[in-house]
Structure 1
Amino acid sequence: MKRWTHPQDAVPLIAGIYAALSPMWTTTTNRATTTMVVLGVITALVAIAELVRPDMIPLEGLTALIGVAFIVAPWVMGFSDTRPMAWTAWIIGAVTLIVGAADLQVTRMHHRDTTATSH
């Protein structure tokens, strides 16, 4: 696949950037800030890698996994009582999980189709 042909990977990129910057305008704690910045940067980097190298199938699975990490982070990292940041993590996690899972499904179907036609 050619570079920059997966526009759906722009969604996790935007979500990652939003997550990393969200402590600037959202009520937060130190632990929540660190968690959101780290997960946001990782999400953005994975999205950029997927935009540059869309043929790397495991990255879609990684995007979905990062979505799960965002969803469980408020409980695991102990900031579920900080509702504004917890809701930010849950929403970004849901979006990232859905886009990552859908992209993985599309990539697998595309890979299956090209494998079937090459035999």
Structure 2
Amino acid sequence: MNEVSTRPWSRPHDWAEVVIGVVAALSPLWLSTSTAAMWTMIVLGALIALDGLASLAMPGMVYGEGIQIVLGVLMFLAPWVIGYTEFNGASWTSWVAGVLVVIAGAVAMPVAQAAHRMAGSH
């Protein structure tokens, strides 16, 4: 495990989560959405970005990556559950963001576990 992945503010997958969350949260500015779709994307996007920031600040916080995966799944399912599949741009943004967040969270999980173990050994 390299030092970069244990230092705060240094993990690229957590930065990716922040960027994906911000893009999802802001996407109703340029996409056609319903009110429900807009608020779903804003809230889930903001939660994804905030959890990414928390993971960046505390690299050994393993449960943050689990939360990120759950948020990604929720983002992916949102067009069907909330009922905005007729808005193609919003739906595709949710689906792509959801998949990317799940991938980033899954990739970050072993890194966070290793950082957690290293923090405990000091």
TM-score, length-scaled by structure 1 = 0.88
Distance 2:68 2:28 in 1: 21
TM-score, length-scaled by structure 2 = 0.86
Cα shift at 1:112: 9.1
Are 1:40 and 2:45 an aligned pair?
Answer: yes
Are 1:52 and 2:57 an aligned pair?
Answer: yes
Contact 2:17 2:101 in 1 (8 A): yes
Cα shift at 1:105: 3.0
Distance 2:116 2:22 in 1: 32
Alignment gaps of 5+ in structure 2: 1-5
Cα shift at 1:51: 0.5
Q: CA RMSD in A?
A: 1.9
- What secondary structure, in the 3-state scheme, does the structure 2 residue paired with 1:27 have? coil
The corresponding residue for 2:14 is: 9
**Structure 1 ranges of 4+ moved more than 2 A:** 105-108, 110-114
- Identical-residue share of aligned pairs (%): 36
Distance 2:116 2:18 in 1: 26
Contact 2:61 2:112 in 1 (8 A): no
Alignment gaps of 5+ in structure 1: none
Instruction: Encode CA deviations 1:43-92: one digit per residue, 9 max, x unaligned.
Output: 11000101111111100111111110011000111111211100010000
Tell me the number of residue pairs that the alignment of Structure 1 and Structure 2 aligns: 115
